[in-house]
Amino acid sequence: MKALLRLGSNRIIRGILLVLAAWYGLHFAVDSNIVPSPHNTLVALFKLVNSGLLLHMLYSLYRITAAVSIAILAGVPLGLWTGLSKRADSILSPVIYILYPVPKAAMLPVLMLLLGLGDLSKIMLIITIIVFQILIAVRDGVREIPGDLRMSVKSLGLSRGQTYIHLVLPAILPKLISALRTCVGISFSILFFAENFATSYGIGYFIMNSWTMVNYTDMFAGITALSLMGIVLFLLIDKAEHKLCPWVFLNESKQVTGY
């Protein structure tokens, strides 16, 4: 009983239980094979994992990881440059504001024509969307560094490189991780769309293929697999945040008072 209570107090488990309850509710309310029951879906999921679904998941994971990594590699330096240099800001910010709201999903056909039908066009589509999130988060993170911290570091005689290591990078890290969370969510949405074109691997392809085959249980198994991938990635980001930014989780109300 104690173990069950402990399990119930875990917020991830609690979330899963709530989703399952809502799913069961919908299943009984619709009363059609369009919404299969969670238990039938989970059984199908376990069977499918051993017969190809894992490969679809790995393909999707590869595309997301590649896109997010490249977006970080491009977005962080550009964000730092825009945040630290007024000249760079005056050049880049107007470009960002023009390109950011453009519906990049509509560019997939163009990207496919330019970069081919393979993974590159799909990865590039995700990058074109999430790189702005990262760039803006880093730029704002740099701008929000308090003036007294800048002065303090300057007075200690830190070099330019040391200022990046000890001041700028730690200051932007919480914002970058927060942006990363948003980027992963967006990446999944856009990947689902991109994997419906010119590929036969990927979780998006698997879901839509199951739908066209009128196999709703497999379709839901694919959606569940997609959710599980999302949960794992979010947990990894949470873990990284706790490890890399421990000061963010300090409870200010527990501060020591007095001399």
Partner 1 sequence: MIDIEGLYFNYDNEAVLKGLDLHIDARSTCAIIGPSGCGKTTLLYCLAGLLKPSGGRVLINGEEVKGIRRKTGVILQTNGLLPWKRAWGNTALGMKARGCDKAEIQKRVSDALKELDMLSHKDKFPAQLSGGQRQRVAIARTLVTEPDLLLLDEATAALDAITKEHLQNLLLRIYYQYPITMVLVTHNIEEAVFLGQSIVIMGEGRIRHRIENPCFGDKDIRSKPEFYSICAEVRKRLAEGGVL
Contacts with partner 1, 147-176, as mask; x by CB under 8 A: -xx-xxxxxxxxx--x---xx--xx-x---
Nearer to partner 1, 39 or 239 (CB): 239
Output 224-231 pairs: Cβ under 8 A, ≥24 positions apart: 224/41, 224/42, 224/45, 225/45, 225/48, 225/49, 225/53, 225/56, 225/57, 226/60, 226/188, 226/192, 229/57, 229/60, 229/61, 229/188, 229/203, 230/184, 230/185, 230/188, 231/12
Q: How many residues bind partner 1 (CB under 8 A)?
A: 29
Cα gap 133→79, rounded to integer Å: 10
Nearer to partner 1, 34 or 248 (CB): 248
Shortest Cβ 254–partner 1 spacing (Å): 8
Cα gap 61→64, rounded to integer Å: 5
Contacts with partner 1, 94-133, as mask; x by CB under 8 A: ----------------------------------------
Task: Say how many residues make up the chain.
Answer: 259
Cβ neighbourhood burial of 156 (10 Å; 0-12, 13-18, 19+): exposed
**What residues between 214 and 253 interact with partner 1 by CB under 8 A?**
245-247, 250, 252
Shortest Cβ 159–partner 1 spacing (Å): 7
Asked whether position 86 contacts partner 1 by CB under 8 A, the answer is no
Among 146, 160, 212, 243, binds partner 1 (CB under 8 A): 146
How far is Cα of residue 45 from the mean position of the Cα atoms in its chain?
23
**What residues between 55 and 84 interact with partner 1 by CB under 8 A?**
none
Nearer to partner 1, 51 or 159 (CB): 159
As given in the structure block, the two tokens for residue 183 are: 């980027």
Shortest Cβ 170–partner 1 spacing (Å): 4
Cα gap 52→164, rounded to integer Å: 46
Shortest Cβ 103–partner 1 spacing (Å): 38
The residues that touch partner 1, with contacts defined as CB under 8 A, are: 146, 148-149, 151-159, 162, 166-167, 170-171, 173, 245-247, 250, 252, 254-259
